[in-house]
Amino acid sequence: MLLAVVAALLVLAALTPLTASMDGTPSEVPDLVAEEAASEPERDDDLAFYDRVIERIAGGENYYDFIVEEQRASDYPVRPGIAVRLPTLAYLHAWLGEPGMLVLAVLLLGACVWAWWRRLGDEPGGPPRQRIGAALMLMGGSLGLNRYYFVLHELWAGMLLALAFALHRPGRWGASLAVAALALAIREHALPFVLLMGAMAAWRRDWRETAAWAMLVLVFLAAMAWHLSLIAPHVLPTDPASPDWLVMRGLSGWLGNVVLSSNLRFLPHAIAGPLVLLMVLGWAGWKSPAGATGTLLYVGYGLAFMLAGRANNFYWGAVVAPAMFVGIAFVPMALASLVRSARARA
């Protein structure tokens, strides 16, 4: 039964159109990807907007003094206030400059590969796949070295979550908590990861770790409330509300988000879509704490992407894409396990 379900899902994934929409124009490959391939790419409107924000901060302006006005002038919604990004990444970029961000990206990618090498070596079933798993992490995270995307919040949040996931161990979670906190300060889409880690700690009855993750959630909610309070005085009653994010795109939303915000976007969609499902199958077939966490994490985000996010929000997939690639290393083991089980039943 499970083999039949997997086969059916792979066929559906191969047939599902993976579309995005930039500036209201549907396309299989977003304009932002096509522009990246040009010899002298022009900045996408979203990226150019963040460029201006960083430039104004570097010029000495306060983020909250101009962000609503700048966003309104660019015809971006400011209602609700959550449509305005947290300022963490903009300030970091303004302080370090592009050379500093490049150094940071290299260090972060190296840390992710090293951390996953260590985690694969520590988990049951991981050592035989240590090399291929680390190589897949390098492949999944290499997009983080593309300076064209350095202003995207999801890019940095995704790499930090990949690192936080790899650093976590039951009983040794301090470093993971700190890295996840930074990801959450950059993009609120990291919150499901934090909630999952807290829930799994509670399942293990590790109340100290549960309390730590719960405290991080409370600090984040307080920071978000402060952020919204600074935005509110600048919002006018005439400002249009943001279009609804709950659009229920189904399988296309999940696969499209991950494919178009990762290096899978260079593959034919009939191959890239099934690969996303195979990644999750690999995580599910890895019977270990990391496998259980990865399965819940990526299925959970997948469900969220199927329900929420418009076509032009495809870049949300970058929050989970980097470490998803590691799951491919466990696909042969997962399929072999299912086949053995089916034969035993027969």
Question: Is 70 exceeded by the pLDDT of residue 20?
Answer: no
Instruction: Please state the pTM of the whole predicted model.
Output: 0.91
The arithmetic mean of pLDDT across residues 232-249, rounded, is 88
Please, what is the end-to-end C-alpha distance for the chain in angstroms?
Answer: 12
- How high does pLDDT run on average in the chain? 90
- Evaluate whether 171 touches 206 at the Cβ level (below 8 Å): yes
pLDDT tens-digit map of 282-309: 999 999 999 999 999 999 999 999 999 8
Minimal CA–CA distance to 118: which of 167, 160, 158? 167
pLDDT tens-digit map of 147-194: 889 999 999 999 999 999 999 998 899 999 999 999 999 999 999 999
| In the chain, domain spans | 2-345
Give the percent of the chain with pLDDT over 90.
73
Binned at pLDDT 50, 70 and 90, residue 311 comes out as confident
Question: Is 60 exceeded by the pLDDT of residue 274?
Answer: yes
The two tokens of residue 75 are: 């015809």
